[in-house]
């Protein structure tokens, strides 16, 4: 099913929905187990270098990626809610290799934290994954940068979902 992108909350919320031919228990594992995330959770052309997760409220997922040009980018999730296999909530930010909080390497006015809410709903063996992304405790300038970036996020997350679809096909074969 094609992805859907809604701009809710006055353009402040980014929503992407994609349906996969897989049960939600499997889809939940693909989003919560580092060995799986390392295979698909990155922009196209990037390689995940490190993926460590403490999957619990208060836990952290810390990851590093290498771009096609050899540059490295780091990020982390501060996990707020885990409801297997239905829902994940975390704050997403950029970090350094040691896990310290940093700003977006290419957009200094990008919100420091993004609230990420992922839901998994199953219908007849197919799972719809809905990603909701919104600035968290952001300035007005940061909110404007985020709102202006929705088209790029649709493209970027679309590529990531394509990688998840390809990985799912390999994982099931």
DSSP 63-110: EEEE-TTS-EEEEEEEEEEEETTTEEEEEEEEE-TTS-EE--SS-TTS
Determine the average pLDDT of the residues in 79-107.
Answer: 96
Q: Could you give all domains of the chain from N- to C-terminal order, each with its CATH number?
A: 4-172 (3.30.530.20)
pLDDT at 157 over 60: yes
Least confident range of 6-20, 31-45, 70-84: 6-20
pLDDT of residue 2: 34
């Amino acid at each position: 099913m094609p992805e859907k992108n809604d701009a809710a909350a006055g353009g402040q919320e980014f929503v992407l929905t994609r349906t996969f031919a897989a049960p939600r228990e499997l889809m939940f594992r693909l989003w919560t187990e580092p060995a799986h995330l390392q295979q698909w959770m990155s922009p196209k052309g990037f390689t995940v270098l490190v993926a460590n997760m403490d999957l619990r409220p208060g836990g952290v997922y810390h990851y590093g990626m290498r771009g096609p040009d050899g540059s490295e980018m780091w990020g982390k999730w501060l996990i707020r809610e885990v409801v297997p296999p239905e829902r994940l909530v975390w704050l997403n930010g950029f970090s350094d290799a040691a896990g310290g909080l940093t700003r977006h390497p290419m957009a200094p006015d990008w919100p420091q934290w993004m609230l990420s809410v992922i839901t998994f709903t199953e219908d007849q063996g197919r799972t719809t994954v809905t990603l909701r992304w919104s600035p968290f405790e952001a300035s007005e300038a940061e909110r404007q940068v985020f709102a202006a970036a929705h088209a790029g996020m649709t493209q970027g997350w679309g590529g990531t979902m394509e990688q998840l679809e390809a990985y799912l096909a390999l994982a099931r074969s």
